[in-house]
Structure formats: C-alpha cells, structure tokens
C-alpha cells in the first residue's frame, strides 16, 4: 500500500491561482503522454506517487489524453487513485478538459457546445471515478459556438457540483477578455487559462495575455514549458531512440536544425553556470516573474519529475543572466 512522504509539503512552492483562494504547486504534472492504454502502468503509478511525494498536488488531464485510445489516461488515473491514493483526494487538485475531437459524430468532435461539454465531463468523472473535478477547462476556442453557450456549460458544471472552478485553454487575450465578461455576469469561479509558453514559444507575451491575466487576477497554468522536450539536454548530441522525437510522438522534429542545436547548447552553458540543467533553467525562467501560476510538466519516468521539481528552488536570475538568455534567443 502506498504511503506518501510525510515531508512532501516542506519544499514545494504554492502559488495562488489568480485572485482565487486555490493554491497550485509551481510545478504540476500533466498526463498527456505516457499515461495511455499502451504505456507501462507500473511506471505511470510510480510517476504519480513520486510527484505527490514531492509536493505536486495538481494532476492535469483531458478527455482525449491517452494513446492510442482517447480517455485511457483518465482511466489509468482512476486506477491509480483506487490503488491507495483515493484517500488523499482532498489533498489533490485534479483538472480535466474537453474541446478537441473525442468521439464519433457531430457531438464529440472539436467544439464548445453545451451538449459536448456536459457529456464529456460526465464521461471523465466516470473514468476517474470522481464525484467532481477541481478545475474543468474548455480545451480550445471554438469560433462556431457562441461564447455564451460555452460559458454557460462551464458555469452549469459548477452549479451541479461537478467542478469547483472553471478554466479555458488555448484562448488568446481577446478571447479570454470576452468570455471573462460573461463569467463575471454569471459569478462563475473562472480562475485560470492554460496556454503554451516557453523560452522558444513566447506568444502570450506578444499577444498581451500574460500581462492581462496578471492584471485581471486570472491564473496561468502553462503547458509545453520545455517545448516538447527541446529545452532539455536530450537533443544536444543527437536524437535518443526513447525520446519523443525518436518515438515520433511530437511534431517538433523539423525544428531540430543545426542552428537550433547551437542555440540549445549555448542555453545549456548558461544553465550550467547557474548550477542547473537546461530543463531546470527553462522552467525557472517561465516562473521567474510570478506571472505564471504553475508549469505543467510531462514525464516518461520518475527521475524526470525529481529533476524538474528542482527548478522551483532557483527562480531568481541576475540581469546578466537574463540578458545572456535573451541574446541567445534572439539568434
């Protein structure tokens, strides 16, 4: 029977999610990859246990996560909860999302309709054997569904007691601002947006979303902070067979050019001068200004989680380090 580390809360940093009362760990665990039907269950269970032992209380799922079957990641999380972790449910923040293609027919394709969101949440709760999720997200903006409908569907999930808070994902600043107005009218506990963000993908800065969220009291839970694994030391000397690129599980292969590798090696040198690995510095950099609530990491083995959590202990940068990083990123 699993017994968590009694000191699991001693070192983790917890940030308030926007203006809400909910705190999230600075590093959260996403289960998009390596938690599917075809993956090793013992390994995924050990990763969940390792994360919790390190104070990672937030587990982020989605209805379509799992390979090769949509929903299998949520099913596996439900099984892991059954095997000794369900008694710690009140110490966990479990989030899930709906919005991308999930099941056949017009009601399960990519959309934000009340029909789809309501049905999907019911399915997710059954797969994880939960009465509620802590955060329910609309996964991607849908231009073909009125935002009022999407907002009302999320609001209804809270009113039914099936979600405590709601969020949005992959919404830009203007889309966030528009749906936020509706949530305010409904008094919906809308607390977070989940965009992509990393050293190599800074669109939320140029779009204005990062600063807007901070000003409006909206949390940011960012995914791909390591840019699909490029911001690690894994690709500095070739492509490992067991990496995401090696397995063909990412679209990022075409970006692994000679110029990019040179850039990554220079960033790695800066990280080493800080006493960090490249992945740790990349996470620290995202968290450095307090405008990001939590970074969502993925992992293929427990050791990666232990390594990445170290980023929260070194989030300060000197101006010289920041200038050096900017110079490399500008190349």
CATH number of the structural domain spanning residue 218: 3.20.20.100
CA dihedral 288, 233, 298, 42 (to 10 degrees): -140
Would residue 313 count as lying in a domain?
yes
Q: Is residue 8 domain-resident? A: no
Asked if the structure places residue 188 within a domain, the reply is yes
Q: Which structural domain, as residue segments, surrounds residue 225? A: 14-329
pLDDT higher than threshold 90 for residue 241 = no
Q: Does residue 241 lie within any of the structural domains?
A: yes
Q: Does any domain span residue 1?
A: no
When pLDDT is cut at 50, 70 and 90, the band that residue 132 belongs to is very high
**DSSP H or E run through 53:** helix 41-53
**Of 60-69, 152-161, 190-199, the least confident:** 60-69
Quick check: 239 pLDDT over 70?
Answer: no
CA distance linking residue 264 with residue 237, whole number of Å: 11
- Residue 7 in domain: no
Domain count, the chain: 1
Percent of the chain with pLDDT over 70: 95
- pLDDT value at residue 1: 84
pLDDT band at 35 (very low <50, low <70, confident <90, very high): very high
Q: Which residues of 194-230 are buried (b: 16+ CB within 10 A; e: fewer)?
A: bbbbbbbbeebeeeebbebbbeeebbbbbbbbbbbbb
Residue 72: inside a domain, yes or no?
yes
pTM of full prediction above 0.85: yes
30 in any annotated domain = yes
Q: Grade residue 248 by pLDDT with cuts at 50, 70 and 90.
A: low
Residue 257's pLDDT band (cuts 50, 70, 90): confident
């Amino acid at each position: 029977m699993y017994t968590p580390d009694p000191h699991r809360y001693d070192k983790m940093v917890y940030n308030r999610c926007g203006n809400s009362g909910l705190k999230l760990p600075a590093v959260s665990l996403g289960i998009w990859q390596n938690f599917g039907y075809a993956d090793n269950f013992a390994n995924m269970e050990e990763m969940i246990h390792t994360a919790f032992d390190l104070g990672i209380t937030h587990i982020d799922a989605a209805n379509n996560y799992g390979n090769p079957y949509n929903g299998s990641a949520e099913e596996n999380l439900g099984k892991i909860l059954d095997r000794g972790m369900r008694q710690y449910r009140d110490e966990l923040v479990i989030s899930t999302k709906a919005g991308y293609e999930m099941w056949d027919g017009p009601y399960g394709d990519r959309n934000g309709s009340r029909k789809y969101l309501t049905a999907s949440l019911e399915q997710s709760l059954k797969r994880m054997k939960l009465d509620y999720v802590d955060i329910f997200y609309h996964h991607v903006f849908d231009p073909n569904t009125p935002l009022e409908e999407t907002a009302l569907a999320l609001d209804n999930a809270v009113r039914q007691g099936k979600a405590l808070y709601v969020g949005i994902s992959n919404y830009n600043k203007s889309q966030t601002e528009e749906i936020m107005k509706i949530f305010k009218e409904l008094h919906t506990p809308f607390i977070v947006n989940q965009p992509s963000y990393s050293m190599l993908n800074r669109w939320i800065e140029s779009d204005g979303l990062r600063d807007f969220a901070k000003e409006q009291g909206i949390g940011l839970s960012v995914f791909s902070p390591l840019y699909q694994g490029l911001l690690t030391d894994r690709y500095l000397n070739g492509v490992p067979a067991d990496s995401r690129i090696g397995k063909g599980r990412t679209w990022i292969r075409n970006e692994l050019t000679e110029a990019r590798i040179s850039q990554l090696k220079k960033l790695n040198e800066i990280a080493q001068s800080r006493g960090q690995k490249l992945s740790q510095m990349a996470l620290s950099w995202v968290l450095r200004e307090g405008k990001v609530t939590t970074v969502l990491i993925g992992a293929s083995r427990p050791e990666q989680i232990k390594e990445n959590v170290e980023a929260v202990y070194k989030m300060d940068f000197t101006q010289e380090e920041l200038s050096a990083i900017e110079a490399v990123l500008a190349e």
